[in-house]
C-alpha cells in the first residue's frame, strides 16, 4: 500500500529531524500547496510543531519544524540472558524512562505472563499509561526472520524456529523484532555518520552493517554475524562448535582471561580485516565498547601495524550510546518500520487527549 503524504512526512522527520516546509517539499518532491496543507493538518493534530527559524541570507526566515516529543512514546525492550531491559523514547528518539528487571529468558508458556507483569510494573513506575505507547521494538540475540515472524536460531538461548506470537500477545501495541546487535547499531546513526560497521562485544560477539542509513541484512538475515568469523584458525572452541571464532577471543570473558594487551591485539587484527573488506568506519559497542575509550590510542597503534593502506588509522570509534543501547535501538527500529502505524496511533492518542481536556475555567 502506497504511503500517504502525511506518512511520508512523518517518516522523513522521525528521529529528531528539524527541517523547514521548503525542505520537506524538496526532499519528498511535493508541491508547496501539498506540503502546506499536510503540515497544517499534522500541526493541528499536535504531531508536528514549530521550533524556531532557519538561517536566512535575506527576507523572511522560514520556520523550522520537528515532531512533537509529546505526541506519544515508543517502547524498546532488550531480552538478555539474565535480565530484561525496558525503555521508552519520544518521537525525537530521546530516552525517557529505563529500567532493568532480573528475568532469565525461557521459551515456556509460564514465562510470558511473568514478562507481561514486569512490563506493567515498568509502566507503573515510569508513570506511563499503556495507551500512550505507539509501538514497540524488541531486541533479541539471534537471527530474526520478520517474514516468517520467528527467531530462526539463537545459540545463546538454544532455540530454533521460535515463533514470536507469544511476545506479540502480551504487548500492548504493534511490535517489531530485531537482532540485538542490529538494534544497538541504530543508536549510532546520525546526520554525520550513515555508513559504518558496528561491533557488539557482549556475552556473545556480534555486529551489524549500516549502509547509507539502512541496515544491510544480507540474503538470509545473517549479515553482521561477525562473532563467528574465524580469527585464529584451529583456536579456541566457540559455543557454535567451530574453533577460532572471534567470539572466543573478543567477548568480555575473553578479556577477563587474556588481559587487555592480548585482547587488544586480537581486536586490532579483527578490525583491520573488517576495514579491508568494507572500507567503512567501525564503532565498538557492547560491554567492552563502553570501556574501550581510555585504550583507543593503544588500539589504534596496534591496528596501524596491520593496516598498511591507511596513512592514519582514524576509522575506529567507541560507541556513543553506552547504556540501554539494544533497547533504545529497538525503539528506533520500531520508529523506522512502524511509521504508518505510529502516525495513526499518535493521531488517535492526541485526539483523545484533546477531547478529554476540561473546558476553560473548569478545574
Q: How far apart are the first and last CA of the chain?
A: 45
pLDDT for position 324: 94
Question: Does residue 215 lie in a domain region?
Answer: yes
Buried b (16+ CB within 10 A) or exposed e, 265-287: bbbbbbbbbbbeeeebbbbbbbe
**251 within a domain of the structure (yes/no):** yes
State residue 34's pLDDT score. Answer: 95
**331 and 252 share a domain?**
no
**Cα–Cα nearest to 285, from 255, 319, 314:** 319
Are the beta carbons of 227 and 247 closer than 8 angstroms?
yes
Sign of CA dihedral 178, 184, 189, 193: negative
Residues 32, 102, single domain; the answer is: no
The count of domains in the chain is 3
**CATH number of the domain where residue 138 is located:** 3.30.420.40
CATH number at residue 56: 1.10.10.10
Helices 5-13 and 339-356, packing angle to 10 deg: 100
Pair type for strands 19-20 and 73-79: unpaired
Domain span at 127: 73-184+324-346
Can you say how many angstroms the Cα of residue 216 is from the centroid of all Cα atoms in its chain? 14
pLDDT of residue 355: 61
56 and 115 share one domain:
no
Asked if residue 287 and residue 220 are part of one domain, the reply reads: yes
pLDDT of residue 191: 63
Predicted pLDDT at 155? 84
| Domain match, 27 and 148 both | no
In this structure, the answer to whether residues 61 and 93 fall within a common structural domain is no
Distance CA 52, CA 70 (A): 18
Domain boundary among 15, 46, 70: 70
Same domain, 127 and 63: no
**What pLDDT is attached to residue 357?**
47
pLDDT of residue 356: 58
- Residue 170 confidence (pLDDT): 94
Task: Give the per-residue pLDDT at 81.
Answer: 86
Domain presence at residue 232: yes
Q: Which residue has the cell 528487571?
A: 101
- Would 361 be classed as within a structural domain? no
Q: Are residues 196 and 306 in the same domain?
A: yes
pLDDT at 150: 94
Do 199 and 308 have their domain in common?
Answer: yes
- Say whether both 332 and 303 belong to one domain: no
Per-position pLDDT tens, the chain of length 363: 567 899 899 888 877 788 999 999 999 999 999 999 999 999 998 899 998 777 766 667 789 999 988 888 999 999 998 899 999 999 888 899 999 999 999 999 999 999 999 999 999 999 988 888 999 999 999 889 888 999 999 988 989 999 999 999 999 999 999 999 999 998 998 767 889 999 999 888 999 999 988 888 888 777 778 999 999 999 999 988 899 999 999 999 999 999 999 999 999 999 999 999 999 999 999 999 999 999 999 999 999 999 988 888 999 999 988 889 999 999 999 988 887 888 888 888 877 766 654 443 332
Let me know if residue 352 belongs to a domain: no
Backbone angles phi, psi at 209, to 5 degrees: -125, 120
Confirm whether 37 is domain-assigned: yes
Same-domain check for residues 290 and 332: no
Residue 124 inside a domain? The answer is: yes
pLDDT for 52 equals 79
Q: Is residue 131 part of a domain?
A: yes
Residues 351, 46 contacting (CB under 8 angstroms) = no
Angstrom distance (rounded) from CA 86 to CA 348: 24
Q: Residue for cell digits 508547496?
A: 32
The answer to whether the CB of 274 falls within 8 A of the CB of 197 is: yes
Q: What is the edge-to-edge ordering of all strands in the sheet holding 143-145?
A: 143-145, 150-154, 159-163
Q: What grid cell was written down for 245?
A: 571464532
Q: Which of 70, 101, 123 is the last residue of a domain?
A: 70
The DSSP line for 241-308 is: S-BSBTHHHHSHHHHHHH-HHHHHHHHHHHHHHHHHHH--EEEEEHHHHTT-GGGHHHHHHHHHHH--
Domain identity same for 180 and 329 = yes
Amino acid at each position: 500500500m502506497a504511503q500517504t503524504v502525511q506518512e511520508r512526512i512523518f517518516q522523513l522527520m522521525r528521529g529528531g529531524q528539524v527541517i523547514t516546509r521548503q525542505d520537506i517539499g524538496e526532499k519528498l518532491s511535493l508541491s508547496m500547496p501539498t506540503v502546506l496543507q499536510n503540515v497544517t493538518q499534522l500541526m493541528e493534530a499536535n504531531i508536528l510543531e514549530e521550533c524556531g527559524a532557519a538561517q536566512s541570507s535575506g527576507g523572511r526566515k522560514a520556520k523550522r519544524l520537528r515532531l512533537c516529543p509529546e505526541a506519544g512514546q515508543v517502547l524498546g525492550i532488550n531480552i538478555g540472558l539474565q535480565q530484561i531491559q525496558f525503555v521508552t523514547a519520544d518521537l525525537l528518539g530521546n530516552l525517557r524512562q529505563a529500567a532493568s528487571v532480573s528475568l532469565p529468558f525461557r521459551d515456556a508458556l509460564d514465562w510470558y505472563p511473568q514478562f507481561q507483569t514486569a512490563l506493567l510494573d515498568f509502566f507503573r513506575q515510569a508513570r506511563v499509561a499503556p495507551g500512550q505507547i505507539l509501538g514497540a521494538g524488541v531486541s533479541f540475540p539471534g537471527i530474526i526472520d520478520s517474514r516468517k515472524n520467528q527467531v530462526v536460531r539463537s545459540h545463546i538461548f538454544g532455540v530454533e524456529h521460535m515463533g514470536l506470537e507469544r511476545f506479540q500477545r502480551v504487548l500492548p501495541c504493534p511490535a517489531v523484532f530485531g537482532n540485538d546487535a542490529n538494534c544497538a547499531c541504530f543508536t549510532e546513526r546520525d546526520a554525520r555518520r550513515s555508513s559504518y560497521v558496528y561491533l557488539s562485544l557482549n556475552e556473545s560477539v556480534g555486529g551489524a552493517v549500516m549502509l547509507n542509513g539502512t541496515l544491510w541484512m544480507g540474503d538470509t538475515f545473517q549479515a553482521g554475524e561477525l562473532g563467528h568469523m574465524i580469527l585464529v584458525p584451529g583456536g579456541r572452541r566457540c559455543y557454535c562448535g567451530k574453533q577460532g571464532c572471534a567470539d572466543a577471543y573478543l567477548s568480555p570473558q575473553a578479556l577477563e582471561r587474556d588481559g587487555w594487551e592480548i585482547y587488544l591485539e586480537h581486536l586490532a587484527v579483527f578490525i583491520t580485516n573488517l576495514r579491508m573488506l568494507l572500507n567503512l568506519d567501525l564503532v565498538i559497542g557492547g560491554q567492552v565498547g563502553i570501556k574501550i575509550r581510555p585504550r583507543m590510542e593503544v588500539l589504534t597503534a596496534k591496528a596501524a601495524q596491520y593496516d598498511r593502506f591507511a596513512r592514519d588509522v582514524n576509522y575506529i570509534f567507541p560507541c556513543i550510546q553506552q547504556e540501554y543501547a539494544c533497547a533504545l535501538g529497538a525503539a528506533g527500529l520500531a520508529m523506522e518500520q512502524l511509521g504508518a502505524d505510529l502516525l495513526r496511533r499518535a493521531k488517535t492518542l492526541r485526539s483523545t487527549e484533546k477531547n478529554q481536556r476540561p473546558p476553560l475555567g473548569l478545574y
